[in-house]
Amino acid sequence: MRFTAHWLFLLLSLPLVSLAKPDARPLYATHCAVCHGPERLGLTAPALLPENLKRLGRKRAPKVIAEGRPATQMQGFAGKLDKAQIAALVDYIFTPPKVRPEWSADRIHASHVVYFPELVHGDAKSAKPVYDADPLNLFLVVEAGDHHVSVLDGDRLEPIHRFKSRFALHGGPKYTSDGRFVYFASRDGWISKFDMYKLKTVAEIRAGINTRNIAVSADDRYVLVGNYLPHTLVLLRADDLSLIKVIPVRDDFGNSSRVSAVYVAPPRESFIIALKDFPEIWEMFYSDHPPRVFNGAVHDFHMAEGLAEKGPFPIKRIGTDDILDDFFFDQSYTNLIGTARNDKKGQVFNLIVRRKIADLDLTGMPHLGSGITWKRNGHTVMATPNIKESYVTVIDMDTWKTIKRIKTLGPGFFMRSHENSPYAWVDVFFGPNRDVMHVIDKQTLEIVKTLRPAPGKTAAHVEFTRDGRYALVSIWDMDGAIVVYDAKTLKEIKRIPMKKPVGKYNVYNKIHRSEGTSH
């Protein structure tokens, strides 16, 4: 009996041993750390933390580990790791660290590199482009399919240059006021400065682990970076991207917040900061000569109440009724239109009196960051697509009343127009009709045409040429394209092959804050 019991015990224990979950930590150290960093904070490859992996998702992660990722240096590990080991790695990288990772000033300094010191300073008057094209009618096309950026001539409608970008650019490139330089942010915190005249990357620095976006001051002196991880703002010199300061984002009780987005407000000589985790708006002033007068009201930079940062870059903390993490501004940057994720209405917040002045009938999840304005019947109106509901909302900006909800074939994400165009374009980004692009008459507020540029493939993100003559649509596919339309006749002109061209950004429209493009 003893012998039988002994062997029975061994037989019962064998499956338990074979089913034991592999230890992911040595597997990570052996196969992943050399590229993604020993702390999962990223090195030559992106950070492997839950915040950075949301777009990948748990379901897709095993396939990427096993087969690798096209158009990147990520190799497949199917020949080295079995399914259980891959599953253990997936669990490991989707588990938050016990201590929230930090990205210190020392690490930011250590990442800084200037590739071309001779190009750090310069403006559009003192240099000539290396190409024969209008530098103000260029587009930067972000091709997410293989992490490149194409420079497109808006007159000839042809690419003139293509260069490799950092992995997963996010938030849209930001130009200097003359269009000479442009700045990119990647999701894993790399900030890059590119010379649009010499077609070279001038400098880079890693300002965070998970970065939302950047803003460039209207005087071209500063770049502000907003981070999800760590919970910081990072202020950089715009000329060489060197670090000025790291600002923790905390409230009076020591709670910290992710930064949803940062914006520049040129008339106010300030940055506006949207926060994700507590009800405040922050405004950072970069002017050397406070106080300033905005629309007849003196704004005191040095008011003790709500002042988060003193010194040359004071920050005014403004309490709000709700957490507002998606913004739209009027052209004067006096009023901020925001949506509260826990509310069923939008809000108009006046930055001079620093309080809510109106509620808006905005349900669902309006994508205000893609909102646009135009003139209609003597009034300025704003329009926004909706991420959850199938309509575009048009609002009178004098009365803040809804004029119309335009029914669409599904929720949308991007909306664009141009001062010289009678039409506004909106995509149907979500759902079975993601291949649809609606064209709306800006005066009648009726859909005049529904386009399907590439049936079955997502059509999104319209941008216009400098003069508004052509509208360019992205086909979000590895075998994608830029589809060029005549903006008046709505007829297709040509197709330019691209690798998942997620966004296009016209220099002139961006630096002149066109009514038809987001700011």
What residues have CB less than 8 Å from 20, skipping those under 6 apart?
none
In terms of pLDDT, which residue wins out, 73 or 149? 149
Q: Is the pLDDT of residue 78 over 90?
A: no
* Residue of 183, 197, 277 lying closest to 236 (CA atoms): 183
Instruction: Provide the pLDDT for residue 282.
Output: 96
DSSP string for residues in 467-500: TS-EEEEEE-STTEEEEEEETTT--EEEEEEESS
- pLDDT tens-digit profile of 371-380? 999 999 999 9
SS (H, E, C) 17-63: HHCCCCCHHHHHHHHCHHHHCCCCCCCCCCCCCHHHCCCCCCCCHHH
Please give the average per-residue pLDDT across 247-269, as a whole number.
Answer: 94
Residue 177 — left, alpha, or beta (φ > 0 → left; ψ -120 to 50 → alpha)?
Answer: alpha
Instruction: Provide the pLDDT for residue 519.
Output: 66
State the Cα–Cα distance between residues 472 and 481, nearest whole angstrom.
Answer: 10
Q: What is the pTM of this model?
A: 0.88
Instruction: Provide the pLDDT for residue 281.
Output: 94
Query: Tokens 């130009």 identify what position?
Result: 175
- pLDDT tens-digit profile of 167-185? 999 889 999 999 999 999 9
Please give the average per-residue pLDDT across 199-206, as a whole number.
Answer: 98
Q: Is the pLDDT of residue 370 over 60?
A: yes
Q: Is the pLDDT of residue 16 over 50?
A: no
Instruction: Provide the pLDDT for residue 179.
Output: 97
Mean pLDDT, the chain, rounded, equals 88
Q: Categorize the per-residue pLDDT at 58 as very low, low, confident or very high, splitting at 50, 70 and 90.
A: confident
> In which element (H, E) is residue 508 found?
helix 507-511
- pLDDT tens-digit profile of 207-253? 999 999 999 999 999 999 999 999 999 999 999 999 999 999 999 89
Q: How many CB atoms lie within 10 A of CB 316?
A: 22
State the Cα–Cα distance between residues 440 and 235, nearest whole angstrom.
Answer: 40
Instruction: Provide the pLDDT for residue 132.
Output: 96
Instruction: Provide the pLDDT for residue 343.
Output: 57
Question: Which CATH fold topology does 2-93 show?
Answer: Cytochrome Bc1 Complex; Chain D, domain 2 (1.10.760)
Every domain of the chain and the residues it spans: 2-93, 102-133+159-278+280-319
Least confident of 129-133, 248-252, 310-314, 400-404: 310-314
Please give the average per-residue pLDDT across 149-173, as a whole number.
Answer: 96
Considering the four listed CATH numbers 2.140.10.20, 3.40.50.150, 2.60.40.10, 1.10.10.10, the one that applies to the domain covering 102-133+159-278+280-319 is 2.140.10.20
Best mean pLDDT range from 43-47, 92-96, 486-490:
486-490
Q: Categorize the per-residue pLDDT at 66 as very low, low, confident or very high, splitting at 50, 70 and 90.
A: confident
Q: Is the pLDDT of residue 345 over 90?
A: no
Instruction: Provide the pLDDT for residue 290.
Output: 54
Q: Categorize the per-residue pLDDT at 397 as very low, low, confident or very high, splitting at 50, 70 and 90.
A: very high
Alpha carbon 348 to its chain's center: 23
Residue type, 286: Y
Instruction: Provide the pLDDT for residue 311.
Output: 67
Q: Is the pLDDT of residue 70 over 80?
A: no
Instruction: Provide the pLDDT for residue 23.
Output: 87
- pLDDT tens-digit profile of 435-452? 999 999 999 999 999 999
Please give the average per-residue pLDDT across 38-58, as a whole number.
Answer: 78
Q: Is the pLDDT of residue 201 over 80?
A: yes
Least confident of 74-83, 112-121, 165-174, 214-223: 74-83
State the Cα–Cα distance between residues 122 and 343, nearest whole angstrom.
Answer: 47
Best mean pLDDT range from 294-298, 353-357, 449-453:
449-453
Least confident of 34-38, 141-145, 297-301: 297-301
As a whole-number percent, the residues of the chain with pLDDT over 90 amount to: 65
Please give the average per-residue pLDDT across 403-417, as a whole number.
Answer: 97
Q: Is the pLDDT of residue 3 over 80?
A: no
Inter-CA distances, 91 with 17, 50, 351, Å: 20, 10, 45
> In which element (H, E) is residue 440 found?
strand 437-441
Least confident of 75-89, 140-154, 239-253, 275-289: 75-89
Please give the average per-residue pLDDT across 118-123, as a whole number.
Answer: 92
Q: Is the pLDDT of residue 21 over 90?
A: no
Least confident of 240-249, 311-320, 390-399: 311-320
Instruction: Provide the pLDDT for residue 17.
Output: 44
